[in-house]
Amino acid sequence: MRTFPIGGIHPHDNKEWSKDKEIEILELPDEAKIPMIQHIGAPSNPVVKKGDKVLAGQLIGQSTGFVSANIHASISGTVTAVDAYPNGQGQRRLMVVIKREGDEWMPEIDRTPDHKRECTLAPQEIIAKVREAGIVGLGGAQFPTHVKLSVPDGQKAEVVIINGVECEPYLTSDYRNMIERAEMILTGTEIVMRAVGVSRAVIGVENNKPDAIAHLREIIARDGYSGIEVMPLKMRYPQGGEKQLIAAVTGRQVPPPPALPISVGAVVCNVSTAIAIYEAVQKNKPLIERVVTVTGKELKSTHNYLARFGTSASRFFELAGLPEGDVKLLNGGPMMGRAVVDITAPLIKGCSGLTVLSGKEAARGEELSCIKCAKCVSACPMGLEPYLLSKLAKLQKWDMAEEHNVVECIECGCCSYTCPSYLPLLDYIRIGKQTVMSNIRARAAASNKK
Amino acid sequence: MQTRLFAAPSPHIHGGERTRQIMGDVVLALVPALLVSTYVLGWRVLMLTAVSVVSCLVFEYLIQRFLLKGRTTIGDLSAVVTGVLLAFNLPVGIPWWIVVIGALVAIGIGKMTFGGLGCNPFNPALTGRIFLLIAYPVQMTDWTTNTPDALSGSTLLANVKAGAMPLSDIDFMSMFGGHMNGSMGEIGALALILGGLYLLWRKVITWHIPVAVLGTMALFGLCVAISDGGAAMWQTPLFHILAGGALLGAIFMATDYSTSPMTHKGMLIYGVGIGAITMIIRLWGAYPEGMSFAIFIMNAATPLINKYCRPKRFGTKR
């Protein structure tokens, strides 16, 4: 069975807590707080003001560049504020607050449940619709999808890879989508293939989800989705990392930055993103909702909700019930998710799950000294030396950290997970990576001035 | 009670493996060799091993507590590993106070001077052993109390080197079982291999260093046998792997984390170096055994090996 070439770890997948919970539609919130930045790139400009009436699906934030994304109202009602509010990490961000009145959608959105497979649009038209709909990578990276679909001149896409790996422990939103909304994923895949002009697509799924693999294959055979193949992959974290997945599926490694996946002919999309693409292109529906896993060992109940963006995190726990005492609430899963410090923070596009870890489960062990066991070196899927990068960052040796390719770190956390001395390796490496990246940008800006 | 949210950067979970567990596994892997040694050489083995372990723990505690005035880390069990390995490198007849001095050098000079666990450039147990070998050469090479057989007084390696014993006279089966002269921990080949397999299974070590060391020694032995005109073609390599400290060194001493390279490629270079230097000393040097010196020399080369043997970076050809 195929997998990525170097490093990786095998954490317990903890999927059993929520994998059999069917997708439920979360009751609409009375208020939605929608941040103007939910993507990598430039923040969007609000195009509504206090007092405006908006419909669900109406544009409220205009993208401000190529690498940026539109933002739409997720509910209908009145705009009550356009102001800065804390996001999940407690940083103040510009948000549009909508007070809900009913559930009125933009008239051009097709809300019928019929599946619409046929697509005769030209690639440019598809990309325009994806861009219009504000679609970003729903696996967590939030990278604007229209940018990925726009193959640069002189390069050629050869294969579309649909990411159904979901290697992050606990999360099951992609899994539920593959089980319950397989047709949408497959039609979305066909649309992506059409947009980038290839005849082959591979859906990569880890082999801890055999029913998803079987179901997708069954629908492919039944409905004649030609050129789409489901590839079971070995269960190993971070299999779902873009570069790792490409290597597992094609055997080709994306060269170090600034090379992009397209340099090896690959265009990668998450399964949930494929659904969003299907809805945008075939149903004129902008990205205003997604499937979110609400999970954790100590919750009263676990769920997979279809929820509108801007919904307060606290609403998800009205049924699930947060445990008492110290807990860590994560936007995402335990390996790469970000700790949420404000329970009223809104649901954003990149949030595939809200994972609750008990204080004990998320406790950090006492930090000892590095024993040079090299377990972090063996675990690093990028072939870096985490012990060294961490030390260089701690000593603020930014130039040396740059020499040792700190910017190639994908922040998967394998190094910290595996360290027997409980060193916070990734904490330091992340600081090193951010500092070096800003140094590189500063150098580029300085040389542009000259 | 209320729900309180707390925050920290990712990852939020840990694999659960701890330094203490790794050290505990190493100690456990040394138990079969300890049992064989006790069975063959008697209770004195256990006594000296206990003296060595307790001395190492006490010296580490005292130095950290009163000299460095910092946190004590004897709970990580690394001093226990050093203690057992030091004892394993000594002859069973050695006076107990020499063992205590060895422990002081191992922990005090070999480990704590450089900043404690993970910072030492040389294997602490070996530092202790080499110090004792130079300071107390008579006691360190006195094998008379070992076994009552005809060969007492010197090790197999010494006998073969002096030409006192042809290779064809060697009973390889008893070498496996523990009936050969030598330091306390190196006499039971089978028990040491068993311990090595346990460490491999627990993923404490990888195969690279032991295989590189022993493979190089075997190949070296084979070349010697060929240049001797083809006599003892299989006996020579096998003898060198089983005799002396080869197995103890290759499996337990050379694989010490702090003093061995970080990448697999580096480990192979390091292992080949140890194997070659050991054989050169054994065949042409003044000492019958060269394992300790070989590991010590390659420990010194480890930072250099680390500098030039980087891991294969994702997306590059190298």
| Partner-chain contact B12 A371, CB within 8 Å | no
> Is the pLDDT score of B188 beyond 70?
yes
Position B145 in a domain: no
Clarify whether residues B275 and B167 are in a common domain.
yes
Clarify whether residues B184 and B259 are in a common domain.
yes
One-letter amino acid of A432 = G
β-pair partners for A248: none
CB burial of residue A366 (10 Å; 0-12, 13-18, 19+): exposed
As a whole number of angstroms, the distance between CA B214 and CA A333 comes to 45
The whole-number pLDDT of residue B151 equals 46
With CA atoms as reference, report the closest residue to B52 among B103, B109, B90. B103
> Is the pLDDT score of B155 beyond 90?
no
Clarify whether residues B160 and B300 are in a common domain.
yes
Nearest CA in chain A to B75: A368
Residue from B12, B68, B267 whose CB has the most chain A CBs within 10 Å, to mutate: B12
- From residue B220, alpha-carbon distances to A116, A166, A373, B231 in Å are 72, 50, 29, 14
Confidence of residue B161 (pLDDT cuts 50, 70, 90): confident
DSSP B75: G
- Residue numbers in B near A342 (CB within 8 A): 5
B 158-197 residues with CB below 8 A of A? none
- From residue B248, alpha-carbon distances to B86, B96, B215, B238, B245 in Å are 11, 22, 15, 15, 5
Q: What is the pLDDT along chain A (450 residues), one digit of tens a residue?
A: 899 999 999 999 999 999 999 999 999 999 999 999 999 999 999 999 999 999 999 999 999 999 999 999 999 999 999 999 999 998 999 999 999 999 999 999 999 999 999 999 999 999 999 999 999 999 888 999 999 999 998 899 999 999 999 999 999 999 999 999 999 999 999 999 999 999 999 999 999 999 999 999 999 999 999 999 999 999 999 999 999 999 999 999 999 988 899 999 999 999 999 999 999 999 999 999 999 999 999 999 999 999 999 999 999 998 888 888 889 999 999 999 999 999 999 999 999 999 999 988 888 888 999 999 999 999 999 999 999 999 999 999 999 999 999 999 999 999 999 999 999 999 999 999 999 999 999 999 998 887
Hey, is the C-beta of A94 within 8 angstroms of any chain B C-beta? Answer: no
The whole-number pLDDT of residue B178 equals 65
As a whole number of angstroms, the distance between CA A314 and CA B24 comes to 45
Q: How do residues B112-133 score in pLDDT, each as one tens digit?
A: 999 888 899 999 999 999 999 9
Region of A369 please: left (phi>0), alpha (psi -120 to 50) or beta. Answer: beta
Range of the domain at B177: 156-304
Terminal CA-to-CA distance of chain A, rounded, Å?
52
Would you tell me how many other CB atoms lie within 10 Å of the CB of residue A15?
20
- Residue numbers in B near A361 (CB within 8 A): 13
| Partner-chain contact A372 B7, CB within 8 Å | no
Clarify whether residues B84 and B198 are in a common domain.
no
Of all residues in chain B, what percent are helix, strand and coil, respectively (each to 5)?
65, 0, 35
As a whole number of angstroms, the distance between CA B158 and CA A320 comes to 74
Clarify whether residues B224 and B95 are in a common domain.
no
Q: How do residues A358-385 score in pLDDT, each as one tens digit?
A: 988 888 888 999 999 999 999 999 999 9
* Number of structural domains chain B divides into: 2
Clarify whether residues B115 and B185 are in a common domain.
no
- Residue numbers in A near B19 (CB within 8 A): 368, 371, 420-421
The whole-number pLDDT of residue A33 equals 96
Position B150 in a domain: no
The whole-number pLDDT of residue B148 equals 47
- Residue numbers in B near A416 (CB within 8 A): 11, 14
Hey, is the C-beta of B18 within 8 angstroms of any chain A C-beta? Answer: yes
Please answer whether residues B51 and B100 qualify as being in contact, where contact means their C-beta atoms are separated by less than 8 angstroms.
yes
| Partner-chain contact A329 B5, CB within 8 Å | yes
Nearest CA in chain A to B311: A383
CB burial of residue B72 (10 Å; 0-12, 13-18, 19+): middle
β-pair partners for A159: A266
The whole-number pLDDT of residue A450 equals 73
Clarify whether residues B26 and B58 are in a common domain.
yes
Q: How do residues B239-291 score in pLDDT, each as one tens digit?
A: 888 888 899 999 999 999 999 999 999 999 999 999 999 999 998 988 888 89
Clarify whether residues B111 and B216 are in a common domain.
no
Confidence of residue B146 (pLDDT cuts 50, 70, 90): low
Position B174 in a domain: yes
Position B68 in a domain: yes
Would you tell me how many other CB atoms lie within 10 Å of the CB of residue A103?
12
| Partner-chain contact B117 A335, CB within 8 Å | no
Nearest to A377 among B115, B258, B262 (CB): B262
Position B149 in a domain: no
| Partner-chain contact B314 A5, CB within 8 Å | yes
As a whole number of angstroms, the distance between CA B176 and CA B1 comes to 63
Clarify whether residues B165 and B83 are in a common domain.
no
Clarify whether residues B112 and B214 are in a common domain.
no
Confidence of residue B230 (pLDDT cuts 50, 70, 90): confident
As a whole number of angstroms, the distance between CA A352 and CA A139 comes to 7
Clarify whether residues B78 and B191 are in a common domain.
no
The whole-number pLDDT of residue B318 equals 57
Position B161 in a domain: yes
Hey, is the C-beta of B118 within 8 angstroms of any chain A C-beta? Answer: yes
Position B221 in a domain: yes
Position B9 in a domain: no
As a whole number of angstroms, the distance between CA B33 and CA B224 comes to 30
Clarify whether residues B135 and B164 are in a common domain.
no
| Partner-chain contact A336 B2, CB within 8 Å | no
SS (H, E, C) A402-450: HHCCHHHCCCCCHHHHHCCCCCCHHHHHHHHHHHHHHHHHHHHHHHHHC
Q: Structure tokens of A333?
A: 């899963």
The size of the A-B interface in CB pairs under 8 A is 160
Hey, is the C-beta of A424 within 8 angstroms of any chain B C-beta? Answer: yes
| Partner-chain contact B5 A380, CB within 8 Å | no
The residue out of B95, B112, B139 marking a domain boundary is B139
A 169-188 residues with CB below 8 A of B? 169
| Partner-chain contact A374 B257, CB within 8 Å | yes
Please answer whether residues A275 and A185 qualify as being in contact, where contact means their C-beta atoms are separated by less than 8 angstroms.
yes
Q: Please report how the helices B96-104 and B124-135 are oriented relative to each other, as an axis angle in degrees rounded to 10.
A: 130
| Partner-chain contact A335 B12, CB within 8 Å | yes
ipTM above 0.85 for this complex: yes
3-state secondary structure of A339: strand
